[in-house]
Structure 1
């Protein structure tokens, strides 16, 4: 990872977290235990504080930033999809923010809620727990079922396992010029035998 201290504040990354080498962490950033930070993510703690709590994931090309004296927080087991932008907001415990969604300043996404892909959540927006939030501008569409929340939790556990896999196995390499004979496949949680 590319890591910069600023104004005497150095980013903090728990040793059980995985932060991709192409991610950028600046200043007041705290990445908690068992978190996953994907390729090209930007966590800019150059004004406010940026926090990923335990088990949260922040996927490829996501941006976390805020205004001075703000906190931008993804609470425990939060799940942030590819390309999302979080600015001075709080994402509740076990909530999901979909791909390319934008969540603005002082917005609060309730625990176990989903923000749909490409939604725009205006500054100051709040939603109750276990809500489906959609649209531009976003609004609460309905409550989520326990089955929908369980589906999200399964995906979050996969990212927690991915953090561990990456810590243990990911390494820089040169590409092959052609696929190997009987090339194995990667399942959701790692390699599986051919034909399964």
Structure 2
């Protein structure tokens, strides 16, 4: 796995976290329990500290970075969608940053907030707890319902389970040349044969 020390600072990864072998972690990176880091993620702790707190996930091709002396933090159960960029910001507990978002230096995404896909959260901007923000630049559109927050929590639990599934069963293989008869399909829980 590509883990790199710089200036003597080595990444720290809790044993219950899953980091895909194609993710890159450099320097001052702290990955807490039950986290999931997906393929192609880049966590460059070569200037500021990068922290993923318990149960958070960073999906495919995301980038985390920051300026010297800053912390970039994903709090407990934070959920970062594919292709997002986090730079010197804080993503609150149980918040979701959608696919291809950019969250800039000093920005704070409040607890249980949702940032819609492709949004741009400006430097220093604060997104209040339990709100939906969207756009370029991001604007708060409305408060979130209990159902929307529950939907987000369920999605995060899926990624916490994916960390367990990946640690238990993901291995590098050669592809098959044809689809086998009765090929299993993942339908939640374990892969099951299709009837």
Deviation at 1:127, TM superposition (A): 1.7
Residue 12 of structure 2 corresponds to 12
Aligned pairs, how many? Answer: 195
Write the distance in 2 (CA, Å) between the matches of 1:61 and 1:99: 10
C-alpha offsets along residues 137-169 of structure 1, whole Å, 9 cap, x if unaligned? 001111001110000000000000000000010
CA RMSD across the alignment: 0.8
**Which stretches in structure 2 are left out of the alignment for 5+ residues?**
none
Residue 136 of structure 1 corresponds to 136
Q: How does 1:31-180 map to 2 (within 5 A)?
A: 31-180=31-180
C-alpha offsets along residues 117-146 of structure 1, whole Å, 9 cap, x if unaligned? 000000000021101010000011110011
With the length of structure 1 as denominator, give the TM-score of the two structures.
0.98
C-alpha offsets along residues 8-44 of structure 1, whole Å, 9 cap, x if unaligned? 1100000000000000000000000000000000000
Judge conservation of contact 1:103–1:120 (CA < 8 Å) in 2: yes
Write the distance in 2 (CA, Å) between the matches of 1:38 and 1:172: 15
With the length of structure 2 as denominator, give the TM-score of the two structures.
0.98
**Which stretches in structure 1 are left out of the alignment for 5+ residues?**
none
Write the distance in 1 (CA, Å) between the matches of 2:188 and 2:121: 30
